[in-house]
Structure 1
Amino acid sequence: MYKLRCLLTLLGLLFICKWINAQESDQQTQQKKIQELKELYLENKQADPFLALEFAAQALQLAETLKDSIEIATIYNYLGDSYFERKSYSIALDNYYKSYKIFQKFGDEINVAYSYLDIGSIYFEQNLSTIANNYYEKAKLIFERNNDKLGLSFTYDKIGFALLKQGDENGALQHFIESDYFRKGLKDTLLSAISSKNISEVYLLREEYE
């Protein structure tokens, strides 16, 4: 009887181990699938935004099944980007806000800052540049605290455009110059070229063809 109990216990443990291994294998497969769908989203984001949106939606469904909060937040941000490109600003804002709340919950400061930039961009497109600028300033504080030069370069750009829309050409120019300073420090020639273009456009507006 004792041997039978031991055998049954051993068989039970073997079954549990196989079940756990199967669960872990299935989870790894789903995580791999999420990464593949995210890559497909990024590949199709510009060329076929509708297809990209479908890939993001599938990735979100899998991430929710796994209860992977950070992946969920990232994919909400992707969805926000897709709807932003389609000018569906209310839906984009909803997705950006969901992403922001998750990043905030987990104390991911850098992604919180980028969420502020995304939310601010919605208000900027709706001609609410003052509200947009408030979000940009929040992002700026976080990037400064973390010495994130790339984040600061994007933030100074966005503040520059908000000020330009408000008619403050001098303020816009100063922020574009600050953005260029950070980008040159990062040795990012593509972003530096964008900053140079922004600076040139302000000079053209001021009819300073230097």
Structure 2
Amino acid sequence: MKGLNMMNLSESILQAMVTLHDRLKPLEANWLVGGSCGLLLQGVPIGREPRDLDVYMDESGVKPFYDYLADLAVDLPHFSRTPIYESILSHYALTGVQLEAVGGFRVRSEGAEYRVEVGSLLAGCGFRATVEDRSIPLMPLAHELAFNMLRGRPDRYEAIAAAMKLNLALHLPPLLSIISRNIFPIGLLERMNDLLDVSLQERMSMSNAGSSFSAGR
């Protein structure tokens, strides 16, 4: 477990996580709890109690996820596009809590293009929380920082950056991987540098990932 703060999570949300874990035990596809719940479980204050549960997966995981939870589904998985997001969404009711499942998530904003890779990248970072003896996989804060910067939420990304700075050695590797595999303009990277008090460009070079850094022009 890397970070745990259940102080502001209701019993219904916690029970929804337990139910989700138990129902998906046989599922081979990766899934990660993100959003408000994922932030609180990693010690990031959000100023309020979460109202729902957000779960992310790759596009290939959408159908098996639905199949395991079909009796709890509120709708069928469907493609959703907004001015900055693309994803396959579906919704479920667990212990009185709405769960939003987000598959194949992509964000395009501020000249950046970010494709969320759960199975091949983020799930392997190993961020987890224990809820009633269940190990709940969490979205890395690196993703949450990039996502909230791209959607213009300083109330979130400033708190996330502050939490990351408490252990940069833990949080920088997934952030550098996200940057190297996507398109982040230099202006956005400089803002990340300021938030984290670090030069991401130098760290990319030090980690021998500099050959991929051109993607962040």
Tell me which interval the TM-score lies in, with the shorter structure as reference length.
0.3 to 0.5
Give the structure with the larger helix fraction.
Answer: 1
With structure 2 as the length reference, what TM-score do the two structures score? 0.34
Q: Which has the higher contact order (CA 8 A, sep 6+)?
A: 2
**Larger Rg: 1 or 2?**
1
